[in-house]
Amino acid sequence: MYRNLFAAWYCLGVLVLCLVTFLILLPFIGPGRATGSFGVLGLVGFLPILPVALFRKEKYDERDIEFMRHALFFGFCLGFSAMGPIVALQGVFYQFWLGRDSIPIALLSVPLYCGLCIGIFSFSVILLRLYYKGGQTDE
């Protein structure tokens, strides 16, 4: 159980660090260059190593595996399904409000980053919610 909770809180921490870095850099260097702060999301790549190193003696049971499976499925389904509307809104914004015919190349990766952030956030929240609900008894 503690491995999965560590994974959820770790992902939320990396996501907050990434978004805070983006918002700090945005007014100084602009949106195109500030997207480089999404490289901080690479820290999520250490996730398979850290829980094993920190929680060596802990074993997974069926409930932990099922909670992780549900959180991964629903979290990343939400993240990938959010990319389409973000691309559409980006196109509408540039076409109707700014009067441009195309989206700048520097901002084409923003929907991918937004979808990834939404996926990581929803994965973490769903996993924390499953453990919170699973720990309660109906007595």
Q: What pLDDT shows up at residue 137?
A: 47
18 vs 100, higher pLDDT: 18
What is the reported pTM? 0.79
Q: Which of 81, 86, 85, 71 is nearest to 120 (CA)?
A: 71
Distance CA 139, CA 122 (A): 29
pLDDT at 13 over 90: yes
Residue 136 — very low, low, confident or very high, per pLDDT cuts 50/70/90? Answer: low
Asked if 74 contacts 126 with a C-beta cutoff of 8 angstroms, the reply is yes
Q: What spatial distance separates the first Cα and last Cα of the chain, rounded to whole Å?
A: 22
Residue type (1 letter), 85:
P
| pLDDT tens by residue, 85-131 | 888 888 888 888 777 777 777 777 888 888 888 999 999 999 998 88
What is the Cα Rg of the chain in Å?
A: 18
Query: 125 burial class (0-12, 13-18, 19+ CB within 10 angstroms)?
Result: middle
pLDDT at 138 over 70: no
Distance CA 120, CA 72 (A): 9
Domain segments of the chain: what residues?
2-134
Q: What pLDDT shows up at residue 122?
A: 93
| pLDDT tens by residue, 19-60 | 899 899 989 998 778 888 888 888 888 887 777 677 767 777
Residue 12 — very low, low, confident or very high, per pLDDT cuts 50/70/90? Answer: very high
